[in-house]
Amino acid sequence: MSGLFASLSMAARSLEAQRAGLDVAGQNIANLNTPGYTRRRLDLAEVVYGAGGVEVVGTRALRDRVLDSRVRSAIPDLSREGALVDTLALVETAIGAPGQGIDGRLASFFDAFSALSVDPTSAAARDGVILQGTQLASAFNQTASRLADSVRLADTGVRDAVQQVNRLSKQIAALNDALAAANGANVEALKDQQLTAIEELSGLTAVSVLTRADGGVDVTIPSGRALVIGGSTYDVSVGNGPSGLATLSLGGATITSEITSGRIGGLLYARDTLIPGYQTRLDELAFGVAQEVNTLHQGGFDLNGAAGIAFFTPPAVVAGAAAGLAVSGALQGNPSLVAASQTGAPGNNQVALAIAALRTQPVLAGGTVSFTEGWAQLAYRVGSDADSAKTEQGSRRDVLSQVERLRDQVSGVSLDEEAASMLKFQRAYEANAKYFTAVDDMLQTLMRTVGGQ
Amino acid sequence: MRVTFSAAYGGIEYVNTAAEQLARARQQVQSGKRLEKASDDPAAMQRAVEGRAELRAIETYSRTADSATAKLTTLDTTLGAVIDKLQQATVAAVSVRGTTATQASREAAALTLEGVRDALVGDLNTTFRGTYLFGGTQATTAPYAKVAGAWTYQGDNTPVRVEVGAGRTVAIAVDGEAVAQGADPTNVLDELETLIVAVRAGDNVGIGAGVDALGRAFSRATRTQSQIGVDEQSIFEGQLQLTSARLAVLTRVSKDEDADLAGAIAEMNRADVAYRAALGAVGTASRTSLLDYLR
């Protein structure tokens, strides 16, 4: 049985422990809205030696490594789809509604040739053909330039994201240094920051994380190249590829094709695979139009009986045909050069008829697809890519929020819980204080007795 | 299960989702369109693009048919006039055949024939907005002109045809030589010249040959006129077909592009309710906590 003084010091320790409990509740409540904060719990233990009582073993952050890593692995997929959705939304505006994109212009162009076939010698009909040709060409030019803009925008996005990757790598490395130097001090706050940084990094590209003994982490991209090892970082550097687009390299190796997930992965996929696919289709369409119209036009005769010239400036290759499509300069100011006649007779309309008939003729893709169908296929491709990215984004978001909710159940702060715990420690403090007063009273009684008054 | 602060006070993403759905439903009702961009329904987009192109083609056929009708009417009327004149010439020539005709009546008949000849030249050289209708594809040259004392055809034998429907063509300028000459060695204008001389000279054999030639010209003109009639009929029938085809395509395109308004309004109401519910849920969650009861 210990003495009264021992009881007094036990009561003092208990008061301290209850106050620490109140502190933890306060800390938890203070960080209700702090992103990445993991709730803390006070670990108390009974003192087994001396007068007994309670002691503070420490505060613990309630982390779940498994759930953390599941959250980390769900993030890159979501942000990849997010990047695709953003990029394709822009591409979609280049397609327009049915009848308002290149399809409408194609119809107007062939309409003009139909009108010319009714009145092959009419100057107005000839002007109409040239005007519609010019508008068709400029519709192709605009669509091509919008697609090129989308590529450039995705490229800028990649460059920005790489800078963020490097910044986050440095932050993680700095945290590694701090953790290594902590030497047993409370590092939970550093770990919270570490988790936030890694998750932010996962949004840019998927990463593998290896935890070191001191709590630091080594971070590598999925192909195994390191971004962070201990306190050292390896920067992803951005070079300019042949077409002026960013190429990424890490430690001397080109990694552009190795990053397939996260925001960077999504942007690269849109930049290097999806949009170039649309551009090729658009170019094939423009090239097909120029070639077929030119062939017929050059096989005919103009109003003066001279052989027809090329209607569109002939594109040399498929690539870039849409961006460069233009009505021949010679035709622009001289509608009599429009070749409507097959024979040289001014009233002959067979070339005009033949060009108007291109409207429905399957001439693309080895003679299986008409111009309109070619455009419809492009619109379908863009639409279904954008649609599936949107759907995919939705389901990825569901997955992530499910896992986050699971983690939140372990690591999140509950206001009710903290309020209850506050009350609990407050009451315990009151009770201990009462005990302290009781012991103190007893001591005073004893003192009076010993004093012999 | 622990309900944490972020779970209780979160839920704003549900409000966002509901608000987004409501905005989308509202947009459909306002615009009446369910297809505004390709990703709204890619397959419908593809069909709508093709459908709209079909519509444009049909509209072009209609427009072509309208302008062709104007030319065909002119051709029809002109050929009617040609037939009348050939009959008039035949009557005049026949009236002076035989031995009883006086010189004065011969002269009168000859004058009639000269008038008919001039009128026929005018008919064959008919223009429609500056282009000749009886010169084949030589639209800018008068079909018949006197060259070195003889009436010469300056057009060609290729009729100009335009498309008024898929695979349906009509002639908007005809081969004038087929009307005026056909298989004959000389054209009807030169025949008339010869006939006029024969009438004046009282050459009954010549008059007989001339009347025969007029008869052949008459049957050529009637045949051509009936071909024009067939074309006019074909346009008329084609127009009916085009109208029903247009309606069918329009219905199909509309099904892909336009919002089903009743459905869209129902959807909007549903989205509105969902939005209010989400707002209500988030609002209620934020209102109470244990702290309210600790006094």
Beta carbons of B162 and A401 less than 8 Å apart: no
Chain B: nearest CA to A127, how far in angstroms? Answer: 17
Which chain B residues touch A122 with a CB distance below 8 Å?
A: 129
* pLDDT (mean) for A386-394: 93
Q: pLDDT digit string (tens) for B45-69?
A: 999 999 999 999 999 999 999 989 9
* pLDDT (mean) for A390-414: 90
Q: pLDDT digit string (tens) for A19-31?
A: 999 999 999 999 9
Which chain B residues touch A415 with a CB distance below 8 Å?
A: 5, 8, 289-291
Return the beta strands (E) in chain B as ranges. Answer: 127-128, 131-132, 144-147, 150-153, 160-165, 168-173
CB count within 10 Å of CB B99 equals 6
In whole angstroms, give the CA distance from residue A430 to residue A426: 6
* pLDDT (mean) for A198-211: 94
| Residue that has been written with the tokens 């080594």 in this structure | A218
Any chain B CB within 8 A of the CB of A344?
no
Beta carbons of B131 and A121 less than 8 Å apart: yes
Chain B: nearest CA to A122, how far in angstroms? Answer: 9
Query: Sign of torsion, CA B63 B67 B69 B70?
Result: positive
Q: For residue B169, give every residue at least 6 positions away whose Cβ sits within 8 Å of its Cβ, in sequence order, or none.
A: B161, B162, B163
* pLDDT (mean) for A345-352: 89
Beta bridge partners of A217: A211
Give the mean pLDDT of chain B.
Answer: 88
* pLDDT (mean) for B77-91: 93
SS3 A66: helix
Beta carbons of B46 and A379 less than 8 Å apart: yes
Any chain B CB within 8 A of the CB of A31?
no
Query: Sign of torsion, CA B263 B269 B273 B278?
Result: positive
Nearest by CB to A121, which of B35, B139, B291? B139
* pLDDT (mean) for B83-96: 92
Beta carbons of A98 and B7 less than 8 Å apart: no
Per-residue confidence at A296, pLDDT binned at 50, 70, 90? very high
User: Do residues B72 and A123 lie in contact, with contact meaning Cβ atoms separated by under 8 Å?
Assistant: no
Q: pLDDT digit string (tens) for A354-388?
A: 999 998 888 888 888 999 999 999 999 999 999 99
Q: pLDDT digit string (tens) for A299-329?
A: 999 988 898 899 999 988 998 999 999 999 8
Chain A: nearest CA to B95, how far in angstroms? Answer: 42
Residue B95 has pLDDT above 50, yes or no: yes
Phi, then psi, of A237 in degrees rounded to 5: -105, 150
Reading the block at residue A332, the tokens are 């622009």
List the strands of the sheet with A253-254, edge to edge: A236-240, A246-250, A253-254
ipTM: 0.84
Any chain B CB within 8 A of the CB of A432?
no
Closest B-chain CA to A90: B37
Q: Which of residues 51-90 of A touch B (CB under 8 A)?
A: 88
Give the mean pLDDT of chain A.
Answer: 90
Any chain B CB within 8 A of the CB of A115?
yes
| Residue that has been written with the tokens 């009986």 in this structure | A305
What secondary structure does DSSP assign to A348-416, as a single string? --HHHHHHHHTTT---HHHHTB-HHHHHHHHHHHHHHHHHHHHHHHHHHHHHHHHHHHHHHHHHS--HH
Beta bridge partners of B150: B147
CB count within 10 Å of CB A200 equals 18
Chain B: nearest CA to A229, how far in angstroms? Answer: 34
- Calculate ∠ Cα B282-B288-B293, nearest 5°: 175
In whole angstroms, give the CA distance from residue A211 to residue B125: 98
SS3 A303: coil
SS3 B277: helix
Please indicate whether residue B292 or residue A205 has the higher confidence score (pLDDT).
A205
Any chain B CB within 8 A of the CB of A373?
yes
**Which of B1, B46, B288 best tests the A interface by mutation, with the highest count of A CBs <10 A?**
B46
pLDDT value at position A1? 46
pLDDT value at position B219? 93
pLDDT value at position A345? 87
User: Do residues A83 and A267 lie in contact, with contact meaning Cβ atoms separated by under 8 Å?
Assistant: yes
> How many residues can be counted in chain A?
453
Chain B: nearest CA to A379, how far in angstroms? Answer: 6
pLDDT value at position B124? 92
Q: pLDDT digit string (tens) for B14-55?
A: 888 889 889 988 988 888 888 888 888 899 999 999 999 999
Beta carbons of A88 and B40 less than 8 Å apart: no
**Which of A34, A40, A117, A413 best tests the B interface by mutation, with the highest count of B CBs <10 A?**
A117
CB count within 10 Å of CB B184 equals 15
Which chain A residues touch B4 with a CB distance below 8 Å?
A: 408-409, 412-414
Closest to A9 (Cα-Cα) out of A43, A49, A59? A49
pLDDT value at position B286? 64
Q: How many CA atoms lie within 13 A of A292 on its CB side?
A: 24
In whole angstroms, give the CA distance from residue A311 to residue A304: 16
Nearest by CB to B42, which of A383, A401, A423? A383
**What is the share, in percent, of chain A residues with pLDDT greater than 70?**
99
List C-alpha distances in Å: B99 to A110, A141, B93, B228: 66, 83, 13, 41
Q: pLDDT digit string (tens) for A54-99?
A: 988 888 888 888 999 999 999 999 999 999 999 999 999 888 888 8
Closest to A287 (Cα-Cα) out of A256, A257, A316? A316
pLDDT value at position A109? 94
Beta carbons of A107 and B131 less than 8 Å apart: no
Residue B156 has pLDDT above 50, yes or no: yes
Q: pLDDT digit string (tens) for A334-348?
A: 888 999 888 888 888
Q: pLDDT digit string (tens) for A149-159?
A: 999 999 999 99
Any chain B CB within 8 A of the CB of A360?
yes
**What is the share, in percent, of chain A residues with pLDDT greater than 90?**
63
Beta carbons of B52 and A377 less than 8 Å apart: no
User: Do residues A391 and A320 lie in contact, with contact meaning Cβ atoms separated by under 8 Å?
Assistant: no
Any chain B CB within 8 A of the CB of A395?
no
Reading the block at residue A62, the tokens are 């309630």
Helix then strand count (H, E) for chain B reads: 8, 6
Which chain A residues touch B138 with a CB distance below 8 Å?
A: 345-347
Closest to A137 (Cα-Cα) out of A362, A317, A329, A337? A329
